[in-house]
Amino acid sequence: IDVQRYAVTGEFDWSRGRLVATVAMTLLPGDDGLRSLRLDSAVAEVKAVRLAGGADLPYAVDAEPGALRIDVSRVPGIAADQAITLEIDYEAAESEALRAIPARWGDPAASRVVYTISEPLNAALWMPCHNTPEDRAVFSIDLAMDAHETMIANGMLVSDEQGASGRRMKYATDYTVPIYLMAFAIGDFEVEGTMKGSLPVSVWHRRGVPGDYGRLLDEVVRSIGLFEELLVPYPFEKYAVVLVPEFGGGIENLGISFQGELGSTAPTISEDLKLTIHEIGHQWFGDLVTVESWDDLWIKEGMATLLASEGARVYLDESGEGTLNGDSFSAGSHNPIVDPDRAPADKYTSGPYGRAAWLLTQIRSLVGEGAFWGTLRDILDDHRFGAIGTDEFLDAFAGPLGPDAAARARRAVRASALPHLDLGRSPSGGVLVTLRDPDGALVAPIDLLWIADDGTTRSQVLEVDQGVDVAPQREGELLILDPLDRHVSWHHLVDFSERPEDLPARLSSFRVPTSPSQVARLLEAGGVHQTAVLGAGLPEPVTPDAFAAFLAGLDAEDAKAMAVWVACIRAADPALDPALRAAWSRALAPLLAGPPYARWTEFTPWLEYGACGEVVDVLALYADEWSALAAGPPAGDVSDAHLRFLYNFDLPLETVLSSWGNVARHSSSLRARSLATTRIRTEADRAPPEDFPAFRAFFSEIVASTEVPDLLSEALTGLSRTMAPTAAENAEALAALSHQLRTASTTPFDGWVVCVAFALTQGDAAAWSELVGGLDGVELSAEAVEMLANPSRC
């Protein structure tokens, strides 16, 4: 069968947690569907099936394979190539595909949202359909909601009516959409918008969720502009980033990417930024051109991963050296790019993501920029509003690649083992490097570049199964591994556990500058090479006096972040001469000060800047921040990105509890509350028992005040860690746990809450029966009821 159109009408019934709807499907039955049509359906109930404007049709639901069979044998004049429209009345229960998040107690932006997440096969949980990515269809959705709520869905808003009973909104596309990218979200959203030329660009977030939305919109506009230059014009009528709760990551619903609200609001953080750009990249690969089958997943994920790094290039390599971001991809052995043995939902390994982006990057390096982007444009033109499979995609590159490399690429998509480098001693005092590639995963060669003091260069290529002597030949030669950066980091290729330790270190030492002139060479080499070298430590010739200039000369935000981090490690070395240490402290303090904060502090805020706290006095340096956090205002003057940076520093317990404790309790940002609660929980993990009562009081307060999973899980972990040896000492915590069970709506954490309470009674039967008695008549999850009846199962 071939579905041409889905039109959904209905509403989400919050009281029953069900989407009550009718879908009208216009389809061509095909030769196989002339007597009985088989659709995919995993909805809770199919209530009726009829021919549009006609009679009811007999149907049968086969729950196990998720099939809905409709008897169409008596449809008058049915023919394989004649479209018919079926109307299906159904109810879909809330599920991983139809997520209904109520207004949560203890959420600073307490409002409900219902939204869909369908990839790869979950669309059938909320709508009977033909569940295969290449059967694209026109989509419309018309749903009722409360008067103060709003809906976003794919396509144009075609009607929006306020009536006595609430609001109805309808969206429709006039082009085809793959089934897994049809989506809607309904909630009390605030919308921040801008225009990119005639294209409306917006961010939708729950009312009151704070974020750096101006910056986010800027990055969205910039990335769309970049991809329009590299690829083809943005193909749809709008682009929206829709932030939703209780979702990690993102999904590229056509024209309306859904992203988790705890990981997207701070676009100065590289992870937030790359997620946003990844989903934008999918609008071309995945949405405009989708994949024929889930085995071809790598085409859209590999391209989106490559495009995310390309979009972040302005921060990853400001030098414009033309490096290819290979280091930013990760790959795992035994996670092939195409893996037909895995079920669709299990295919989401590093294979179709980083490893596929690596393959595409190797192809890019071989065919050159013009042919690479030109071939992609041809693919987008030839398959727009259609699909493409693995063979056809690779065939498109066969001309520019030539027969040998094209054959290698076809083999590489199915390779399991990664290539690896065997290291041995060489008589020259260097390292004998032998490239092994048992499964044929490599398409482009791995090459090395030596740069001498006078700027002259020398190249080496690693050949499969042939030992290559890697050693400097002239005084002052500096090694650049993989100068184009078309391959993943060599940490993927060298087995550090099996090799004698000194060989990887020796190879690595050839890339680390040992003289001022080599430092100058490194600063000319491009951000990715700087980042890789700095990951191993600060080059010896960089002195405190020269550090600010060195930092300014680096070409990537993460290279700068890494440089400060390793400078702090160098300076924190207890063996260091006190005068030198003082010099480092003077050099680093102004670089770490703020606001305004340096961009690198926010780009990779998870680097362990803790060592910097041993060199500069972070209590004094960030005194304004600590007191702002401790005093409020609840939103704070400190961004979520900078909070993540401050998270790294050790503080006196008092300051931890006053500053982070206040953020955890009162911030208007759930993301900040979650970070602060985690910060205090990590402190509790290493706290001595005499500090337990203070932590217990904090975690009890959190448990008694929120049902938000991100906060509650940290607080429960913290309570388990800091419990006292008697029930009496744990009384406050037990009261909080009891309050949580009595007050919160039934949550998946109920059972865990019961088990923590049981542990905190410390075998005191009276305390346990008091807790159990207090829950009489309280509605709990099945798991919690079971644990209450039989706590030994905890």
Footprint of Zn ion on this chain (CB under 5 A)?
A: 301, 304
* Residue 325 vs residues 357, 360, 762, 770: alpha-carbon distances, Å: 10, 11, 54, 60
In angstroms, give the least distance from the CB of 249 to Zn ion: 8
In angstroms, give the least distance from the CB of 352 to Zn ion: 9
The residue among 182 and 711 lying less far from Zn ion, judged by its C-beta, is 182
Angle in degrees, CA 193, 199, 204, rounded to 5: 30
The residue among 288 and 569 lying less far from Zn ion, judged by its C-beta, is 288
The residue among 119 and 625 lying less far from Zn ion, judged by its C-beta, is 119
In angstroms, give the least distance from the CB of 101 to Zn ion: 22
In angstroms, give the least distance from the CB of 64 to Zn ion: 30
The residue among 283 and 585 lying less far from Zn ion, judged by its C-beta, is 283
CB neighbours of 166 closer than 8 A, spacing ≥ 6?
144, 145, 146, 147
Phi/psi of residue 332, nearest 5 degrees: -125, 140
Hunting for tokens 């749903």 — which residue is that?
A: 143
Hunting for tokens 């980091």 — which residue is that?
A: 489
- Integer Cα distance of 614 and 373 in angstroms: 48
The residue among 307 and 611 lying less far from Zn ion, judged by its C-beta, is 307
Tell me whether strands 250-251 and 256-260 are parallel, antiparallel or unpaired.
antiparallel
In angstroms, give the least distance from the CB of 624 to Zn ion: 40
Hunting for tokens 């893996």 — which residue is that?
A: 339
Tell me whether strands 137-145 and 2-13 are parallel, antiparallel or unpaired.
parallel
CB neighbours of 726 closer than 8 A, spacing ≥ 6?
762, 764
CB neighbours of 348 closer than 8 A, spacing ≥ 6?
297, 301
- Integer Cα distance of 5 and 136 in angstroms: 9
The residue among 286 and 326 lying less far from Zn ion, judged by its C-beta, is 286
Query: Among candidates 298, 295, 328, 297, which has minimal Cα distance to 311?
Result: 328
In angstroms, give the least distance from the CB of 361 to Zn ion: 17
Inter-residue contact 20 to 149 (CB < 8 Å): no
Residues 134-154 as b/e (b if ≥16 CB within 10 A, e otherwise) read: bbbbbbbbbbbbeeebbbbbb
Q: What is the DSSP letter of 7?
A: E
* Residue 587 vs residues 57, 545, 579: alpha-carbon distances, Å: 79, 7, 12
Phi/psi of residue 358, nearest 5 degrees: -65, -45
In angstroms, give the least distance from the CB of 340 to Zn ion: 20
Q: At what angle do helices 692-703 and 670-685 cross, to 10 degrees?
A: 150
In angstroms, give the least distance from the CB of 357 to Zn ion: 11
The residue among 304 and 592 lying less far from Zn ion, judged by its C-beta, is 304
Inter-residue contact 60 to 74 (CB < 8 Å): no
Q: What is the DSSP letter of 444?
A: S
Helices (H) and strands (E) in the chain, counts: 28, 27
In angstroms, give the least distance from the CB of 278 to Zn ion: 5
Per residue, the 3-state secondary structure of 501-530, as one string, reads CHHHHHHHHCCCCCCHHHHHHHHCCCHHHH
The residue among 304 and 480 lying less far from Zn ion, judged by its C-beta, is 304
The residue among 301 and 437 lying less far from Zn ion, judged by its C-beta, is 301
Omega before 605 within 30 of 0, i.e. cis: no
In angstroms, give the least distance from the CB of 353 to Zn ion: 7
In angstroms, give the least distance from the CB of 786 to Zn ion: 38
Phi/psi of residue 616, nearest 5 degrees: -115, 160
In angstroms, give the least distance from the CB of 98 to Zn ion: 21
In angstroms, give the least distance from the CB of 300 to Zn ion: 7
State which H helix or E strand residue 497 sits in. none
* Residue 232 vs residues 381, 382, 688: alpha-carbon distances, Å: 8, 12, 60
In angstroms, give the least distance from the CB of 248 to Zn ion: 13
Task: Give the CB-nearest residue to Zn ion.
Answer: 304
The residue among 316 and 356 lying less far from Zn ion, judged by its C-beta, is 356
In angstroms, give the least distance from the CB of 66 to Zn ion: 24
- Integer Cα distance of 224 and 200 in angstroms: 12
The residue among 92 and 308 lying less far from Zn ion, judged by its C-beta, is 308
In angstroms, give the least distance from the CB of 282 to Zn ion: 6
The residue among 128 and 352 lying less far from Zn ion, judged by its C-beta, is 352
The residue among 303 and 712 lying less far from Zn ion, judged by its C-beta, is 303
The shares of helix, strand and coil residues in the chain, as percent rounded to the nearest 5, are: 40, 20, 40
The sign one gets for the Cα dihedral 479, 484, 485, 487 is negative
The residue among 301 and 557 lying less far from Zn ion, judged by its C-beta, is 301
Widest CA span in the chain: 95
The residue among 267 and 354 lying less far from Zn ion, judged by its C-beta, is 354
- Integer Cα distance of 446 and 444 in angstroms: 7
* Residue 163 vs residues 172, 409, 487: alpha-carbon distances, Å: 21, 59, 59
Q: Tell me the CA end-to-end span of the chain in Å, nearest whole number.
A: 50
The residue among 247 and 645 lying less far from Zn ion, judged by its C-beta, is 247
The residue among 335 and 738 lying less far from Zn ion, judged by its C-beta, is 335
Inter-residue contact 330 to 492 (CB < 8 Å): yes
- Integer Cα distance of 782 and 792 in angstroms: 16
The residue among 301 and 640 lying less far from Zn ion, judged by its C-beta, is 301
Q: What is the DSSP letter of 464?
A: B
In angstroms, give the least distance from the CB of 279 to Zn ion: 7
In angstroms, give the least distance from the CB of 287 to Zn ion: 11
